[in-house]
């Protein structure tokens, strides 16, 4: 048994009595917004992904720090989302599209992380354009999902050829795309749902498969009073209960531009951030943690090297461990692991103040992560660039 396994075995044995039974199952909405959104206590960047369950306040699930550490850069804006398979959303089952060409990929590509943590193409822009009958055209996929047969559904940004940005297309494997709904049909769903005349939806901005009604969910650019409302196509068009824009409690005018439903426990996910990600040696920095198990324990550790290991749902949260256990800093910290155990407050938050050690005057990157011992879940990793 390696040192990490030994430490984890000790930690897990300490908390085994407090690990709760599986939480009640239900669906949660994952979303990203067109502009920054004011959530209770925090602003969500348009490149971040948040989570919402009716009756609860929305909170950020995939934060900029974690995405930057995994992807190499903070996404400028995520405009398409999907989570593959049942269970908690994690980096392992995230599919996404970017608003702009970035990270070496196109805005029309559908991307995911492979088992080594590298960004890979799930479906490339060119093949989507070809299926849509506009081969060679520059398109931006701005919404996608899969139906129960596993067929890809897409909508694009901006009218291209005969394709309108409000249209929804289905892409059967190896065959031309099939029009599912015209923009005007989507408009009619919204008009029926709202019970008031809607002259234009502007653009269909997000697609998702609603597991509750087993129908297609979507969000639209207009009317602005409901551009953060999630609609479904059943019963001639209706808003998903609890998912009107006014239900989210946003502190500003918000438009959703990426949505995905996931069946997931109703618990939170540890989120790790820092007030200064590029400190000098000797500086004092403060880490903020939220979304942990109220009054429970967490373990906080760092490494000077990174790796990529994934865990199953038994170790939830982001399910990705990024700290290299062979690294000297990690071994030093793990050797006195009991010093780095903290307690979540009654809201599941905590702050950890650290004085940045000396690395001999050399710029180094340190990777930091927290393990919610009581919730058996991993936080995002974040990167500290020590100058
Ligand atoms: Ca976004
Ligand atoms: Ca896109
Ligand atoms: Ca493009
Ligand atoms: Ca669109």
Query: 335-339, long-range: CB within 8 Å, 24+ apart, which pairs?
Result: 337/7, 337/10, 337/11, 337/299, 337/301
Residue 117: what pLDDT? 92
Residue 267: what pLDDT? 58
Residue 308: what pLDDT? 94
Ligand with minimal distance to 137 CA: 3
Locate the domains of the chain by residue range: 3-20+268-386, 26-265
Q: What is the pLDDT of residues 97-133, one digit of tens each?
A: 999 999 999 999 999 999 899 999 999 999 999 999 9
Burial of 59 (0-12, 13-18, 19+ CB in 10 A): buried
Burial state string for 315-342 with b = 16 or more CB within 10 A and e = fewer than 16: bbbbbbbbbbbebebbeebbeebeebeb
Give percent above pLDDT 70 in the chain. Answer: 92
Burial of 76 (0-12, 13-18, 19+ CB in 10 A): middle
Centre of ligand 3 from the C-alpha of residue 108, in Å: 5
Q: Is the pLDDT of residue 15 over 70?
A: no
The reported pTM is 0.91
Centre of ligand 4 from the C-alpha of residue 265, in Å: 30
- 112-126, 256-270, 365-379: least confident range: 256-270
Structure tokens at 235: 């019963």
The CA–CA distances, whole Å, from 300 to 152, 243, 312, 378 equal 40, 35, 20, 10
Centre of ligand 2 from the C-alpha of residue 227, in Å: 18
Q: Is the pLDDT of residue 287 over 50?
A: yes
- 20-24, 141-145, 226-230, 255-259: least confident range: 20-24
Q: What is the pLDDT of residues 196-240, one digit of tens each?
A: 999 999 999 999 999 889 999 999 999 999 999 999 999 999 999
Which CATH topology does 26-265 take?
Hemopexin (2.110.10)
The chain-wide mean pLDDT, for the chain, equals 90
With tokens 């959530």, the residue in question is 39
Q: Is the pLDDT of residue 179 over 70?
A: yes
Q: Is the pLDDT of residue 367 over 90?
A: yes
Centre of ligand 1 from the C-alpha of residue 257, in Å: 5
CATH number of 3-20+268-386, picked from 3.30.420.40, 3.40.50.410, 2.20.130.20, 3.30.1360.170: 2.20.130.20
- Greatest CA separation for the chain: 67
Cβ pair 64, 45 in contact under 8 A = yes
Residue 343: what pLDDT? 96
Length of the chain: 387
Centre of ligand 2 from the C-alpha of residue 48, in Å: 14
Centre of ligand 1 from the C-alpha of residue 262, in Å: 18
- How far apart CA 327 and CA 293 sit, in angstroms, is 29
């Amino acid at each position: 048994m390696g040192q990490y396994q030994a430490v984890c075995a000790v930690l897990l044995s300490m908390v085994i009595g407090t690990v709760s039974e599986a939480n009640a199952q239900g669906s949660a909405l994952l979303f990203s917004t067109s502009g920054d959104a004011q959530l209770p206590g925090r602003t969500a960047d348009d490149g971040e992904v948040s989570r919402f369950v009716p009756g609860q306040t929305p909170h950020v699930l995939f934060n900029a720090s974690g995405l930057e550490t995994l992807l190499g850069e903070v996404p400028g804006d995520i405009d398409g989302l999907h989570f593959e398979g049942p269970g908690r959303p994690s980096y392992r089952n995230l599919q996404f599209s970017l608003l702009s060409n970035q990270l070496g990929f196109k805005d029309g590509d559908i991307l995911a992380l492979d088992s080594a943590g590298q960004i890979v193409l799930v479906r490339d822009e060119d093949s989507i354009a070809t299926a849509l009958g506009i081969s060679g055209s520059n398109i931006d996929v701005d919404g996608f999902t899969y139906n129960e047969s596993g067929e890809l559904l897409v909508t694009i940004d901006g009218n291209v050829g005969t394709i309108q940005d409000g249209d929804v297309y289905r892409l059967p494997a190896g065959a031309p795309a099939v029009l599912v709904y015209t923009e005007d049909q989507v408009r009619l769903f919204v008009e029926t749902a709202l019970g008031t005349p809607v002259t234009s939806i502007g653009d269909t901005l997000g697609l998702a498969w609603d597991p509750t009604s087993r129908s297609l969910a979507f969000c639209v650019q207009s009317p602005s009073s409901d551009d953060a409302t999630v609609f479904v196509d059943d019963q001639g068009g209706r808003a998903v209960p609890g998912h009107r824009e006014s239900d989210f409690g946003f502190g500003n005018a918000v438009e959703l531009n990426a949505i995905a439903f996931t069946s997931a426990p109703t618990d939170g996910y540890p989120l790790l951030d820092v007030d200064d990600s590029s400190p000098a040696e000797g500086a004092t920095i403060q880490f903020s943690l939220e979304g942990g198990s109220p009054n429970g324990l967490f373990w906080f550790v760092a490494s000077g090297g990174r790796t990529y290991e994934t865990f199953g749902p038994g170790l939830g949260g982001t399910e990705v461990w990024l700290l290299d256990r062979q690294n000297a800093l990690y071994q030093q910290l793990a050797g006195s692991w009991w010093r780095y155990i903290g307690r979540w407050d009654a809201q599941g938050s905590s702050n950890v103040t650290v004085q940045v050690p000396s690395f001999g005057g050399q710029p180094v990157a340190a990777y930091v992560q927290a393990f919610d011992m009581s919730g058996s879940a991993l936080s995002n990793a974040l990167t500290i660039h020590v100058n």
